Structure 1
Amino acid sequence: MSSLRNFDLNLLRVFETLIVERHVTRAAERLHLSQPALSHALKRLREALDDPLLLRTENGMQPTPRALELLPSVQQALALVQESLEPPAPFDPATSRHHFVIATTDFFEEVLYPPFLARLRPQAPNVTFEIALITDEVLQAGLERRQVDLVVGPEAVTGMPRGLVRETWMSEDLVCLAARGNAGIEERLSLAQFIDHPQVALSDISGLQHSKVDAWLASQHCQRRVISRNLNYMAAARVVASSDAIMVLPRQMARMFAKMLPVRPVEPPPGMPRLDMQLIQHPLYAKERPLEWLRQQLLDFAHDFDTSSALA
């Protein structure tokens, strides 16, 4: 009497081939086994199933009624396993209605997301996106629970669980922003001028990001004078536009605000760190075809964006 617990499932392929071929030599060739190895496997099958399965007769090797009874079920089981092991179908953005949730910063949402979405629309007209905030919950559980597909965030993100898939995505210059009417600010700031001016900074929500600017200043035994902390770049830029304060932000965002508000970009002190961004995924889903497609689109976009920025 056989049971799944002690039955070698590798023998199912041997059984199916033997019963279909009804010839030990041909079956051995199909299975790329030697005849002695196949004969040994047949012996094990007979013992496990308590049936001779295949016997020599005047009409050649013939399966027993028990073997013929088992054959359809075994073939169905093997076909199901083979189908399950086939690689997943390619992701077709032209027909897909997949919905992606991306947790990110307002820099990505305001500056990079609009051209990224415009780039994807022709090839993926029915794919939809949702932008979410990067929070502790997103990093600790949201990715694993599939509430968020991907995080596009700054490199200096703390408190992430181990094992998340992280890769460098894009690097952007940081510059300063000042009001157009701020006569005390020239086109470039020295380090002394930078720390002397009042500044607007972003709130460090949930402790997710250490300020690279403050860490850079601390390495030089300096500290800036922050008069206001705001939740997003737009609010901070509006404070700058109506005060004598300056702020630090990505260059592309400074250019955008200069078209919207009475502000202007100002070159920062030498040595100002860059904003490094990364893509963060959960390894449970990183190999899924839709996410592989989205990741590649983001990588291609970052490459082309960096190239066009360099040529600008």
Structure 2
Amino acid sequence: MRFDKLDLNLLVALEALIDESSVSGAAKRLHLTQPTVSASLNRLRDYFDDELLIKSGRKMILSPKAIELDAPVRTALALIRREITNPKTFDPTQSKREFLIVASDYSFNILLGDLIKTCERQAPRITFTIIPPSKRAIARFQRGEVDLILTVSPYKIEGHPELALLQDEDAVICCAQGAFRSGISRQQFLNAGHVVAQFGEERSPATMEMHLAELGLPRKIEVRLPSFSMLPQAVTGTDRVATMHHRQAEHFAQWLPINIHPLPIEVPLIEEIAQWHHTKDSDLAVQWLVNQVSELAKQQTSFSQST
């Protein structure tokens, strides 16, 4: 499709080039070859009479014109995606939609693992790509590329719809044969060697770490890992302890020799929420996905309360 002599498909390429500041990065994101994206860049340069991407040392940087085009290109593409290309009906049994979801391993263990099992039966053609939280993932959400993000309320993204899913509490895990197998006091907790999870290249802390920092309670952190799922195995065979959400601790206690104890420090409950980009309010597929996750969360809550 052309508008005022501009092939509108080039706007998609321009969006990726602006985001990635790289032909190879844009090609990977668009699932195209580098020569194809290079050709698109050349056509964009001709149309706008501007280099758009400028070589600076070993990197490419955006020209002032590219920076100027960033916001209007996103606005135009968001409008097209929302009002024109979104189907007016959605049949999960026939849809070939690929959902992009940002979620931690906690969200996968507690909710998304069951979601993909359910969808194999109820929506067999739908596919999922699940990526971990990071600054890059949040940037993709802000651009409207992500269909759903599962996070905790302190990390919610302002300006976008949200739905409360479930609550959880932090718990201490330790080796079932270790020094704290029978329980752990506040002072023992603070003196013990700790294994902690930090996320993304920026090593964002878990919410419990944020609360302890606010309380001014230092600990001896001996091991840092990139996910909650690694914590149980990291404490087995040691006298170290770790803190993780209780539901996930129960999940791993089914097959790993760990004991679960109440956290001996008072911190707020964890609230797991779902968020979607405000431009996807009318996306029937995304709303179906939100409903599926919400129903699974209700089942999870009911199961927890009955045990």
* Coarse TM-score class (shorter-chain normalised): 0.5 to 0.7
User: Are 1:154 and 2:149 an aligned pair?
Assistant: no
Q: Pairwise mapping of residues 1-312 of structure 1 onto structure 2 (< 5 A)?
A: 89-146=88-145, 148-157=146-155, 160=157, 162-187=158-183, 189-207=184-202, 209-269=204-264, 271-312=266-307
> What are the ranges of 5 or more consecutive residues in structure 1 without an aligned counterpart?
1-83
Q: Cα offset for 1:145?
A: 4.5
Relative distance call for 1:248 and 1:141 in structure 2 (3 A) is same
Q: Cα offset for 1:300?
A: 1.4
Contact 1:200 1:247 in 2 (8 A): yes
Contact 1:136 1:208 in 2 (8 A): no
Distance 1:246 1:138 in 2: 30
Contact 1:254 1:265 in 2 (8 A): yes
Distance 2:210 2:267 in 1: 11
Structure 1 partner of 2:5: none
Contact 1:97 1:126 in 2 (8 A): yes
Contact 1:107 1:233 in 2 (8 A): yes
Q: Cα offset for 1:233?
A: 2.1
Distance 2:242 2:162 in 1: 29
AA paired with 1:97?
A: K
> What are the ranges of 5 or more consecutive residues in structure 2 without an aligned counterpart?
1-82
Counterpart of 1:122 in 2: which secondary structure? helix
Distance 1:204 1:96 in 2: 33
Contact 1:178 1:263 in 2 (8 A): yes
Distance 2:92 2:128 in 1: 13
Contact 2:167 2:269 in 1 (8 A): yes
Distance 1:167 1:208 in 2: 26
- Structure 1 length as normaliser, TM-score? 0.64
Contact 1:199 1:247 in 2 (8 A): yes
Contact 1:154 1:209 in 2 (8 A): no
Distance 1:169 1:203 in 2: 23
Identity %: 19
Q: Cα offset for 1:144?
A: 1.9
AA paired with 2:133?
A: I
Q: Cα offset for 1:240?
A: 0.4
Q: Cα offset for 1:152?
A: 0.9
Counterpart of 2:303 in 1: which secondary structure? helix
CA offset digits 1:157-176 (Å, max 9, x no partner): 27x5x523333222212211
Contact 2:164 2:272 in 1 (8 A): yes
AA paired with 1:184?
A: F
Q: Cα offset for 1:270?
A: 5.1
**Structure having the higher Rg:** 1
Relative distance call for 1:145 and 1:222 in structure 2 (3 A) is closer
- Structure 2 length as normaliser, TM-score? 0.65
Distance 1:152 1:133 in 2: 10
